[in-house]
Amino acid sequence: MWCISQIKNTASKNRIFEKYSGIVYNAGMNRKAEKQIPYFTIILIAVNVIYFFIIEITGDPENSLHMLDMGANFSPLVFEEHEYYRLISCMFMHFSISHLMGNMIYLGIVGYNFECRIGHLRFLIIYMLSGFGASLLSSAYYQITKQYTVSAGASGAVYGLMAMVVYLTVKYGRRTNRAYLTYRILILAVFLFYSNFINADGVDVAAHIGGLAFGFLLSFLLLKPDEKKH
């Protein structure tokens, strides 16, 4: 999804630069990136979908005890029983098919447009560490407030990707085609509306804030513009 400046002639339109994450793309490189496969996006979606059906087959995903057995996040088990793996496993768990679909659709859209452009490893790092940060902040919040809530979902990691999109838009928006920029912002608005209004029941706000915070921080650290002049 992003990044070009206003072009005044036809020749210049064939050499559009998208500069971020330490990589400079010209028109030829863009075509090469578009031919690459966003394999981490595909793998992440596959793992989430497969694990959801495993949870569905072995029990009820809306049953808190079953979700705990399958690895959902629960602050007393994390901080008192030291079951830290739950901070990661809960990222691949969902309470319903609509919960799963909302997160996977956005992951697919962002991954398809970004993974090959910013780099496979950078994309995976931002996704996984944003999800981990979201789980950690959520657990800490519920532990401190003594609201012992079972939580799960990829939305923390997805909010990290959303932060990445916002960061790139704000940082490099001047190089971005206006129609493309509008398209990206619209995607963000639809996702925010869905996750916070239409699908508002049981929203883990602490996880969303954690995902956004880690997403911005990781984007700042990992997505650096190339300083070379071309």
Write out the catalytic residue numbers: 155, 208
Q: Where are the alpha helices (DSSP H) in 59-119?
A: 64-70, 75-79, 86-89, 97-118
Contact at 8 Å (CB) between 214 and 164? no
Report the distance separating Cα 117 and Cα 32, nearest Å: 10
Distances (CA, A) of 42 to 57, 104, 180: 22, 10, 24
Residue where the block lists tokens 């049953």:
63
Q: How far is CA 166 from the centre of its chain?
A: 12
Helix residue ranges per DSSP H, 119-223: 120-145, 155-172, 178-193, 205-222
Burial class (CB in 10 A: 0-12, 13-18, 19+), 121: exposed
What's the rounded Cα separation, in Å, for the pair 87 and 138? 9
Nearest by Cα to 187 from 100, 108, 126:
108
Alpha carbon distance 144, 146 (integer Å): 5
The one-letter code for the residue type at 179 is A
